[in-house]
A = this chain, B = another copy of it.
Amino acid sequence: MKIALIGLGAIGASFAMGLKAAGYTELYGVDIDPSTIDIAEKEHIIKKGHTDAQLLLPDMDVVILSLYPNQIAPFVEKYSACLKEGVILTDVTGVKTTIIEQVTAILPATADFVFAHPMRGSEKKGIVGADHKRFAGANALITPIPSNSEDHLNLIEKLYRDIGFEMITRVSPSAHDDQIAYVSQLMHALSVAVVNSEQASEETLTFAGNSFKELTRIADINGDLWSELFLNNRSALLHSIDAFEDELNKLKQTLVENDEETLKSLFKQARTQRTDWY
């Protein structure tokens, strides 16, 4: 089985290194940056690499697209004529419904695309930030579509387990997007809004403790990637913000009305839910 990694950044190269560590040998890579290909070949992360996907794709059985959300469908469209018959494609993006709509509209009938979301982001960039243990113990989500064959879903899930993923859950694309809007995208929106507040100043750190440091960590955000994630999931994220604002407004109202009893009940609800979770 020949596997191609399209994009050898921190995520794509970590997939390659993880697969190699798991015993897979037929690993190939494509990247727009020739020096990335050089590193990947010299460090034997891949067997062979190219900057031009056309030179590799006709032989590949599995193609892992480690690209930004908006690059997925254009890549499939551009190279659909080069894809091997029976190829299995998969992606690593954190948004699903819109990407699936775009891809299924142009996917050749001889290819199957298993949409997946490995849930371990990277603060590091590029192949130098790759690590064969990056995915050890991580969770992943697979969002099957009707045209997926069970064998292909199983194969992608096996690759994930082989490189260390622990919990792999199948979920519908819309449920994925609704939940990710809440647990991930909303967190980034809140963190960015906190840091962009007019109250932010050079003096802030004189007053800040651990909670501020933790909550603002993800405001050091890759805007190119996250603008694509946000905008491809606009309606779900707007819904999550609305649901959050409903609760923030309840808290505000207790402050306006000096309503200790309701405030305590909101705190109690939060403590109970948080301790249930962790």
Contact = CB atoms under 8 A, between A and B. Distances in A.
Interface in A241-278: 241, 243-248, 250-252, 254-256, 258, 260, 263-264, 266-271, 273-275, 277-278
Interface in A183-204: 183-184, 186-200, 203-204
A58 B56 CA distance: 87
A205 B169 CA distance: 11
Contact of A251 (B119, B182, B192, B243): B192
A273 B199 CA distance: 12
Size bin of chain A's contact surface: 35 or more
A219 interface: yes
Interface stretch (A8-16, A151-159, A224-232): A224-232
A230 to B, nearest CB: 6
A238 B255 contact: yes
B237 A277 contact: no
Interface stretch (A22-30, A83-91, A209-217): A209-217
B227 A263 contact: yes
Interface centre among A216, A245, A270 (most CB of B within 10 A): A270
B238 A256 contact: yes
Contact of A190 (B179, B215, B234, B250): B215
B243 A260 contact: no
A218 interface: yes
Given A216-B274, A227-B260, A255-B234, A221 B183 contact: no
A141 interface: yes
Contacts of A277: 204-205, 216
A237 B214 contact: no
A248 B193 contact: yes
Nearest to A218: B211
Nearest to A206: B169
A208 interface: yes
A36 interface: no
A205 B139 CA distance: 10
Given A184-B211, A212-B187, A240 B192 contact: no
A146 interface: no
B258 A231 contact: yes
B192 A247 contact: yes
A1 to B, nearest CB: 29
24 contacts: A119-B209, A121-B209, A167-B206, A171-B206, A183-B207, A184-B209, A190-B190, A190-B215, A192-B267, A196-B250, A196-B269, A198-B243, A200-B273, A205-B277, A211-B217, A213-B278, A219-B271, A220-B270, A223-B268, A224-B264, A226-B267, A227-B260, A231-B263, A245-B245
